[in-house]
């Protein structure tokens, strides 16, 4: 269902949950435990994308911070920051539009089923 509109009532009901998880990635699990959204394909899809986003940012910042001792760490850190902002904006736009579109590069990992 990538890039497609989901059930419009499902998307409308769970948009807020999907958007919050991108703004505060550590809250990716909220749609999975919320009674009204835990069976929603839309909410599960975006929870998975948010978890991918969270893992990318944490690993990216840790690796780039460790590599700060060499010049490449600074460039890597800048790339991670820019990509994080782009993924954040894309995720919010996709959730707000009610689409189930994977984030580029990191969106293909299926962690939450």
**CB-CB neighbours of 105 under 10 Å:** 12
pLDDT at 1 exceeding the cut of 70:
no
Comparing 5-14, 46-55, 90-99, the range with the smallest average pLDDT is 5-14
| Residue 107, pLDDT score | 94
Contact 84, 71 (CB under 8 A): no
Integer Cα distance of 56 and 91 in angstroms: 14
pTM given for the model: 0.89
Tell me the pLDDT tens digit for each residue of 27-76: 999 888 888 888 899 999 999 999 999 999 999 999 999 998 888 889 99
Of the candidates 13, 12, 11, 16, which has an alpha carbon nearest to the alpha carbon of residue 30? 16
Q: Percent of the chain beyond pLDDT 70?
A: 95
User: Residue 17 — pLDDT band, cuts 50, 70, 90?
Assistant: confident
DSSP-derived letter for residue 2 is T
DSSP-derived letter for residue 113 is -
Mean pLDDT over 16-29 rounds to 91
Question: Across all residues in the chain, what is the average pLDDT?
Answer: 90
């Amino acid at each position: 269902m990538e890039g497609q509109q989901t059930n419009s009532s499902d998307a409308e009901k769970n948009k807020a949950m999907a958007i919050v998880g991108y703004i505060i990635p550590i809250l990716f699990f909220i749609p999975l435990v919320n009674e009204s959204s835990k069976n929603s394909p839309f909410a599960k899809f975006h929870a998975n994308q948010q978890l991918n986003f969270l893992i990318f940012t944490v690993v990216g910042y840790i690796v780039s911070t460790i590599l700060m001792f060499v010049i490449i760490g600074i460039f890597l850190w800048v790339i991670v920051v820019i990509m994080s902002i782009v993924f954040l904006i894309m995720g919010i736009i996709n959730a707000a539009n009610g689409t189930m579109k994977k984030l580029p590069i990191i969106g293909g990992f299926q962690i939450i089923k």
